[in-house]
Amino acid sequence: MSIGQIFLLKIIEKQAIKLLISIDPNDFQEEFERPVYNFIIEYYRKHKVLPQIDLIRKKFSLDEPLSGELTFWYDEFLKRKFLIHYDQHLTRINPLVAKGDLESAKKELQAMTIAMSRIGYEESPILTRQQLIQSVVDRIPARRVTGGVTGIPTYWAGLNRMLHGWMGGNVYAIAGRKKLGKTQALMLCAEASYGFGADTFVLSMEMTTEEFGNRVVSIDSDIGQNFIITGRISTPMLKQLHKQERIIDDSPPPFYKFKEGFFNATTAEIEHIVIMEKPKILFIDGAYLVKASGANSKMSGWERVAETIKELKLIAGKHNIPIVCSYQFNREGEIHLSDAIAQIATAVIGIYEPSNQLGTRILRVIDNRNGGRGDVRIAFDFNTVDFHEIECSEESGQLMFIEEDAVPED
């Protein structure tokens, strides 16, 4: 008997119906195994039970004795699938390398990595009402300990109370007009994630490594960005920076990693990063510049953005990590190009500048599927590295959009 035939008989022996339903029929050899699979599936659909092993043996002349556990044959089945897919990808990669098309070869290699990571991945199970309730009850003791913050904490307590932290499988959007602080807010939340102990990855579609590094050092050392950018660092400040370097050098995991997106990262490249680096949370600055792998030249701007956010949501769900993205508001206060962002994102946090309070920002939770909505007013001072929370309120203040040339770069 072949691997697939033995595997199917073991499924019947162990009554592993859920496993049977989750398998791709195309993974069975067409000539020897697919007929057995098709017969079992049709029998189950008709009778609501799996057929007896003796019936399968007689119909398909499978007389060899069964040995080994179901888990062993499932592993063998997946190994074979892995090797088949690996060979298929190599037959496409090798000719590309041979003719010097390294960019296409790289994309094909990334596609292979993603495909390999999904081998053995089962879809979400169908739960009964009782199982659904029990799954929630089982998580309540842990939620008591965390004080309601069940995900990775943000930088501000008021935002944590409304969002309950960044939770796995969800996509969050931080949105605002240009130069109002989207990047800085995202970076502060990345620092909070790292401080919490979560492996953190930041992908910036707009900022260079040097620009990002300046901000990280500023936040980490409490030294204003202007001092760091211009090099006007006093001796005490320099000692403080060296002290921070030693702390960084000696620090154990978690990791904090950064990558430039060069304005053209794709969702396939992002999933490749997630597979290879395995972060617990991913931040994407300038996510409106990310290209969807499924997009095509005929799509309009808003269709491409909609496709991108859908694919990011799939990545977040499959790898069970939160993805926090920054987007832009247009002049009307809507997220630029697409309503799909607000529809798909778990929460949208708008950044505004109060008309009568310079040096502050309002973080407004506009949409939120998992909690409340409201405002968090924070200080926003780059020179003193002061971004503390001032107050949290459900009341909306009088806000206005500041024109691009009226505020400093964030």
Q: What is the DSSP string of 31-49?
A: TTTHHHHHHHHHHHHHHSS
Per-residue pLDDT tens for 349-364?
999 988 878 889 999 9
Alpha-carbon distance of 95 to 100, in angstroms, equals 9
Element (H, E) at 238: helix 235-250
pLDDT over threshold 90, residue 288: no
Per-residue pLDDT tens for 133-168?
887 788 777 666 566 688 999 999 999 988 889 999
Output the average pLDDT for the chain: 82
The verdict on whether omega for the bond into residue 141 sits within 30 degrees of 0, i.e. cis, is: no
pLDDT over threshold 60, residue 227: yes
pLDDT over threshold 90, residue 341: no
Distances (CA, A) of 192 to 195, 246, 348, 379: 5, 20, 19, 17
Per the model's pLDDT, the better-predicted residue between 222 and 277 turns out to be 277
CA proximity to 241, closest of 253, 260, 227: 227
Per-residue pLDDT tens for 1-51?
899 999 999 999 988 887 888 788 888 988 889 999 999 999 998 998 999
Q: Per residue in 78-88, is it b (16+ CB within 10 Å) or e — as a string?
A: eebbeeebeee
241 band by pLDDT with thresholds 50, 70 and 90: low
Q: Which CATH code fits 148-406?
A: 3.40.50.300
E-strand ranges in 63-192 read: 171-176
Residue 65 amino acid letter: P
Alpha-carbon distance of 392 to 395, in angstroms, equals 9
Q: What is the pLDDT of residue 35?
A: 93
Per-residue pLDDT tens for 257-287?
988 876 678 888 888 889 888 999 999 999 8
- Estimate the share of the chain in helix, then strand, then coil, as percent rounded to the nearest 5: 50, 15, 35
pLDDT over threshold 50, residue 82: yes
Q: What is the pLDDT of residue 124?
A: 57
Domain spans in the chain, listed from the N-terminal domain onward: 3-117, 148-406
